[in-house]
């Protein structure tokens, strides 16, 4: 397991993406899975940066673990911002046009559709959102 803790600002999305991709380089990760993981990082870390801390900037930790059988990556996003479970949001109605659809919710919808598992836990004053993706 490896962790990276940094300010929860959108300017650090690239650092988080590089951190995760450096770990994935050690495994034969399919490009499709890597791209889906990168989109999830952008969405989830971006949400923390925009919404977790009402005033000022807080810290966020990204934890990565790789399991061998089957080859699966788990990435956990941890922040001490206000409690918020994005999985509780209703799924957007994708049958509606972009103009008819309510704003918000599409990013987490895509994360849920592209990851093998998405879990949320609020514990000890921390939001913890974990995504899991098979790499092979």
Q: What is the pLDDT of residue 12?
A: 98
Q: For 18-52, what is the HEC assignment?
A: HHHHHHHCCCCCCHHHHHHHHHHHHHHHHHHHHHH
Give pLDDT tens digits for 56-108.
889 999 999 999 889 999 999 999 999 999 988 766 555 556 566 555 557 89
Q: What would the pLDDT profile of 17-45 be if each residue is shown by its tens digit?
A: 999 999 999 988 889 999 999 999 999 99
* Whether 43 contacts 112, CB under 8 Å: no
3-state helix, strand, coil in the chain (%, to 5): 35, 30, 35
Tell me the residue range of the domain where 65 lies. 2-134
DSSP code of residue 115: S
Total structural domains within the chain: 1
Q: At what angle do helices 106-114 and 31-47 cross, to 10 degrees?
A: 150
- CATH assignment at residue 74: 3.30.565.10
């Amino acid at each position: 397991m490896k962790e990276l803790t940094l300010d929860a600002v959108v300017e650090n999305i690239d650092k988080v993406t590089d951190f995760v991709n450096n770990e994935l380089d050690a495994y034969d990760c399919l490009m499709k899975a890597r791209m889906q993981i990168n989109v999830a990082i952008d969405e989830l870390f971006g949400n923390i940066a925009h919404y977790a801390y009402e005033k000022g900037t807080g810290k966020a930790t990204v934890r990565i673990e790789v399991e061998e059988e089957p080859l699966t990556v788990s990435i956990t996003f941890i922040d001490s911002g206000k409690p918020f479970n994005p999985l509780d949001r209703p799924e957007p109605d994708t049958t509606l046009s972009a103009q008819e659809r309510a704003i918000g919710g599409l990013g987490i919808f895509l994360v849920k559709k592209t990851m093998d598992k998405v879990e949320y836990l609020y514990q000890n004053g921390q939001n913890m959102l974990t995504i899991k993706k098979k790499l092979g």
